Amino acid sequence: MLTISDYEKCKRAFDDYVDKFDVEDDMIKRKKEHSYKVADLMEELSFKLSLLEEEVILARIIGLLHDIGRFEQIKRYHSFSDKNVDHADEGCKYLFKEGHIRDFLDEKAYDKLIEHAIKYHNKLEIQSDDNVSNLLFAKMIRDMDKVDIFLQCIKTYDYRFGYDEISPKVLESFITNKSISSKEVKTKSDSVLLVFAFLFDFNFKESLQMLKESGNFNVFVDSINIEENARDDFEKLKNICLDCMERKVGE
């Protein structure tokens, strides 16, 4: 059974792991900050979903480790683009194929669950899994990652929107409330809609409520440089997001 001491060990090991990289690098700093924030968000969502104490600890551990593959990615490519390397797969390779999960956690019973959650936290869809617990935690980490990503995005990229630059496939996915594949993103305007479309992939109304209360979506919107002749179109697309959020929170 997991206890708070298991999380404390995981946290110490995580700090030791990050210290192997250039801790003065802003990208490393932001990713460490994001990891701790998502761990806290996972705990908060666990309480809202009335999970057991052991499950709350497990959720925090998943939150802390979900982006561990990012650090090696930053070292190699100085990029957050998964076009270079899939950071979730990189994390699973380090933790499970190479066996480093034991550096962070002694208990072996949750290895498959943790691996599944990390592997699918960044994919367009979660692969079907008959294990209810595996699916629950995979959905949770996808949601909590996104809550903070709206804020983290503006620390990494400059977003610009011009309606005439939206690729047809990206617009079609957005209008039909579907997630957008990064492979379809061709322009900066596409990048805006890709982030907007994160809203369509939230699994719990409690998660969307947390996003709403955080104000992160509004901060992201306010950071976008909108071309003057595209403001009306931008407002229409933004309102699709806001309507989606309000509808799902109210369900």
CA distance 187 to 140: 30
Cα dihedral 73, 75, 77, 80 sign: positive
Q: 250: pLDDT confidence band, cut at 50, 70 and 90? A: confident
Beta strands in the chain (DSSP E): 160-161, 225-226
CATH class of 1-141: mainly alpha
3-state DSSP call for residue 3?
coil
pLDDT above 70 for 165: yes
Q: 9: pLDDT confidence band, cut at 50, 70 and 90? A: very high
Specify the pLDDT at position 82. 83
Would you say 188 and 161 are in contact if contact means Cβ atoms under 8 Å apart? yes
Percent of the chain surpassing pLDDT 70:
98
Percent of the chain surpassing pLDDT 90:
90
- pLDDT tens-digit profile of 32-65? 999 999 999 999 999 999 999 999 999 999 999 9
pLDDT above 80 for 146: yes
Structure tokens at 93: 């390779």
> Measured in whole angstroms, how far is the alpha carbon of residue 209 from the centre of its chain?
16
Specify the pLDDT at position 130. 63
Q: b or e along 61-88 (b: 16 or more beta carbons within 10 Å of the residue's beta carbon)?
A: bbbbbbbbbbbbbbeeeeebebeebbbb
pLDDT above 90 for 133: no
CA distance 170 to 119: 25
DSSP track, 27-64: HHHHHHHHHHHHHHHHHHHHHHTT--HHHHHHHHHHHH
What lies within 8 Å, CB to CB, of 250 at 6+ separation is 205
Q: Tell me what the mean pLDDT of segment 219-241 comes to.
A: 96
> Domains of the chain: which residue ranges?
1-141, 157-251
